[in-house]
Amino acid sequence: MNSSQLLDHLNPPQAQAVSAPPGHQLILAGAGSGKTRVLVHRIAWLIQQQGISPHSIMAVTFTNKAAREMRARLEQLLGVNPRGLWVGTFHGLAHRLLQTHWQEAKLPQNFQILDSDDQLRLIKRIHQALNLDEKSWPARQSASYINAHKDEGCRADHVIETSDLYERTMLSVYREYEQACQTAGLVDFGELLLRSHELWLNNPVLLRHYQERFPFILVDEFQDTNTVQYAWLRVLAGQQCWVTAVGDDDQSIYGWRGAKIENIQQFDQDFPGTSTIRLEQNYRSTATILQAANGVIEHNFGRLGKTLHTEGEQGEAISLYAGFNEQDEARFIVSQIDKWIGLGNRRDSIAILYRSNAQSRVLEEALLRESVPYRIYGGHRFYDRLEIKNILAYLRLMVNRDDDAALERVINTPTRGIGGKTIDGIRLFAREQGCSLWSAAEKMITNKALSNRAASSVSSFMSLVQTLADQVESLQLHELAEKAIALTGLKEFHGKEKGEKGQARQENLDEFVSACRVYQPTSDDEDTSILVDFLASAALDAGEEQADEFEDAVQLMTLHSAKGLEFPLVFMAGVEENLFPHKMSVEDPTRLEEERRLAYVGITRAMTKLYLTYAETRRIHGKESFNSVSRFVKEIPSECLQEVRVKSTVTRPIEYNRPPARARLSDSTEGLGFSLGQRVSHPIFGEGVILHVEGSGPNAHIEINFDDAGTKRLVLQYAKLEAV
DNA sequence: GTGGAAGTCGTTTTT
DNA sequence: CGACTTCCAC
């Protein structure tokens, strides 16, 4: 492929970014402006036109999915697999470094990755050891303290001691936690980055090696980098590497996880001579949708400033629907979906986006009622399931006997008579000795420090693990997994669980064996065994692609997980104050701006048609709440919006909510002159809206939300209501 | 060690 | 409201 071909079909700024001479680049790429395309073409350009070896290029992404996609597109563009090129997530690359240089990083060779669930368990244990009661010192709080500090590149030793009780306690937990991880050979997500950052700082020769190896570094989704990631990057880049950062400050939605939007704002100061290129032409959405998105995001301050434009069609207006309640909202969405599919469109051209996962249920029910196939993204990852984590824990113990998190998980799973008492004893001993639980148990058995019964259970557990570990070399990965499941009795154990759960768990265990069977190692390192490699990928990679991916289904997901995707038809559900923006964010201007960026992300997912829906009444945590339409809707230029009014049924939505069973309820109120949603007045409570009616006739219970007095339940015949 | 009752708490979650 | 945890009685 020659240079003109590489630049074919690129607009001027895109071509400029792709063919720029070596140097630092900041590419501000608006939604749908061909960001990945530019990145991939840039790499191809370096290789083909500049004669740069793929070996000299590192491309960093945030998700495994993005990394895979980049690799695939590059391969397609180049016609060959670019060997030697490093493409991966920050965490994946950091892990690779630590695995290669485990000695310099002061880690055991077979260190394991601690995921957030294991992390929390470990912290709970530390709380117990420190006598912190869960009530006043929730483990979650410590977890976020630790993670936030690690994200900032701050170790316990770096924290300045204060006399503040909270700070002191958190710090002591942090210290203990670091200690526990070190003895167990465990590394959490933040630690991967922190540790590899320190690895370079402490080993100039090593750093030099990598700096010379990677004169070209490209980073995707740069707005999502946190402090350590940025520091990591700066250290690696040093003075002699060229960095290309691609990102969009308007799509920074992970601030709550430590992402620093400042990084993108500061890039050109830290990397002198940076040329900034803006990609503002959008190839995804209609002009109307873009205008709406621009209208919303303009309300944020301190933006780097971009205005998306398109040469595409004006498109249809954005529809705004006010549902009476969340059921009505869901019903409306499904009816519009039916219409769209009726026009011959595929279901997977449709996405329903929402702010919080709790919203998905009502939507699911509505889809189910109309038999519309759907798929929910997010939720539980395969490798996060209980039964899978159990078998993984056994596999981890085979690799590293000191992995305390794994041992804690399965020492009594399936139950083998090792109760809390025994485990407490082992923990205490391990603490005193500063050793892992496994070696504590070993020592206690030789010292006869355990009761006979406990000693025999513990040693049978240990020899079980040992037996399995002895076969790691000789068996295939899936054979090993199968054997482990059989020998440990996990399958029978989970099968005993009642309901369909037990069976589902057994099936998942089978699926796990198949996953092992088809597993392809990611690294071609012959040093690391396939088991070690597999365990790392189970921890770092969601195992997202599931089998049903190919089924034509409506896509449901949170706004966060929609980033990077696009759909011809998009519904944004629940655009209400206190839900979106979320009520935890409305007070704080910084967080509110992040919510607004989330709205911007949502709107720009839509290609041809966008619906915004909200509910005037919504049940949240079992309580009715009444929210007005989201401020973000009001920020959309009114000429882009069109309100959808549904016939006359609006005042009596329950009638078309669940026709046969519930219609009678509204009849019963009708006889007395009232209907759901109607405004009424009460002699004491004043004016309000009828929310719900239970029962019929004069004894019917009627729930009313009064403007001043709040929600009350009254008996109809005594309430002395008057229509307003 | 289980199962039921009672209590709790309630965003978003690339790794 | 409902998912999740915790605690207590068998």
Q: Would residue A221 show up in a list of annotated catalytic residues for this protein? A: yes
CA-to-CA separations, A289 to A284, A633, A671, in angstroms, rounded: 10, 12, 46
Strand B reaches within 7 A of the A457 CB: no
Active-site residue identified among A331, A389, A605, A618: A605
pLDDT of residue A548: 55
Phi, psi for residue A396 in degrees, rounded to 5: -65, -40
The per-residue pLDDT for range A12-43, each reduced to its tens digit, is 999 999 999 999 999 999 999 999 999 999 99
A198 close to A187: Cβ distance less than 8 angstroms: no
Residue A721: band (very low, low, confident or very high) from pLDDT cuts 50, 70, 90: confident
Interatomic CA distance for residues A560 and A542, integer angstroms: 16
CA-to-CA separations, A281 to A11, A20, A610, A640, A713, in angstroms, rounded: 9, 19, 20, 19, 55
pLDDT of residue A652: 39
Interatomic CA distance for residues A407 and A405, integer angstroms: 5
Q: What is the dihedral of CA A218, A221, A223, A224, to 10 degrees?
A: -110
Residues in chain A: 724
C-alpha torsion sign, points A183, A184, A190, A194? positive
Strand C-proximal residues of A, range 122-161, CB below 7 A, are 134
Segment A512-534 shows an average pLDDT of 81
pLDDT of residue A276: 95
Strand C-proximal residues of A, range 338-397, CB below 7 A, are 361
A399 close to A108: Cβ distance less than 8 angstroms: no
Within 8 A by CB and 6+ apart from A643, the residues are A319, A320, A321, A322
Place of tokens 């401020």: A631
Å from the A469 CA to the B2 C1': 32
Residue A36 marked as a ligand binder: yes
Residue A287 marked as a ligand binder: no
Give the 3-state DSSP-derived string for A349-400, with helices as H, strands as E and coil as C. HEEEEECCHHHHHHHHHHHHHCCCCEEECCCCCHHHCHHHHHHHHHHHHHHC
The per-residue pLDDT for range A129-174, each reduced to its tens digit, is 888 887 888 888 899 999 999 999 999 999 998 998 889 999 999 9
The residues pairing with A309 across neighbouring beta strands, listed in sequence order, are: A281
Give the 3-state DSSP-derived string for A253-274, with helices as H, strands as E and coil as C. CCHHHCECHHHHHHHHHHCCCC
Q: Would residue A605 show up in a list of annotated catalytic residues for this protein? A: yes
Count of Cβ atoms closer than 10 Å to residue A193 Cβ: 26
Interatomic CA distance for residues A573 and A359, integer angstroms: 8
A503 close to A495: Cβ distance less than 8 angstroms: yes
Q: Which two tokens stand for residue A459?
A: 């040693």
Q: Which residue is nearest to nucleotide B3 (CA to C1')?
A: A498
Nucleotides of chain C in contact with protein CB (under 7 A) are 1-3, 6
The per-residue pLDDT for range A465-491, each reduced to its tens digit, is 999 999 999 999 999 999 999 999 888
Nucleotides of chain B in contact with protein CB (under 7 A) are 1-3, 9-15
Residue A32 marked as a ligand binder: yes
A175 close to A142: Cβ distance less than 8 angstroms: no
The per-residue pLDDT for range A641-658, each reduced to its tens digit, is 999 976 434 443 333 333
Examine the pLDDT at A525 and tell me if it is beyond 70.
no
Within 8 A by CB and 6+ apart from A102, the residues are A108, A109, A111
Å from the A496 CA to the B14 C1': 35
Examine the pLDDT at A204 and tell me if it is beyond 80.
yes
Strand B reaches within 7 A of the A355 CB: yes
More confident residue, A354 or A6: A354
Q: What is the largest CA-CA distance in chain A?
A: 87
Q: Mean pLDDT, chain A, as a whole number? A: 88
Q: What domains does chain A contain, in order, with CATH numbers?
A: 3-101+193-281 (3.40.50.300), 112-184 (1.10.10.160), 318-380+549-650 (3.40.50.300), 382-542 (1.10.486.10), 667-723 (2.40.10.170)
Specify burial of residue A421 (Cβ count, 10 A radius: 0-12, 13-18, 19+): exposed
Q: Measured in Å, how far apart are chain A's first and last C-alpha atoms?
A: 75
A612 close to A575: Cβ distance less than 8 angstroms: yes
Place of tokens 């769209």: A340
State pTM to two decimals.
Answer: 0.85
Q: Would residue A213 show up in a list of annotated catalytic residues for this protein? A: no
Strand C reaches within 7 A of the A619 CB: yes
Angle between helices A139-151 and A116-129 (to 10 degrees): 120
Interatomic CA distance for residues A336 and A318, integer angstroms: 13
CA-to-CA separations, A37 to A6, A7, A223, A244, A344, in angstroms, rounded: 11, 11, 18, 14, 30
pLDDT of residue A692: 61
Examine the pLDDT at A663 and tell me if it is beyond 50.
no
Place of tokens 């923990």: A427
Examine the pLDDT at A256 and tell me if it is beyond 80.
yes
Which nucleotide is nearest, taking the CA of residue A253 and each C1'? B12
**DSSP per position, A293-306:** HHHHHTT-SS----
Among A91-105, A376-390, A527-541, the range of highest mean pLDDT: A91-105
| DSSP strand pairing (A686-694 vs A701-706) | antiparallel
Examine the pLDDT at A201 and tell me if it is beyond 90.
yes
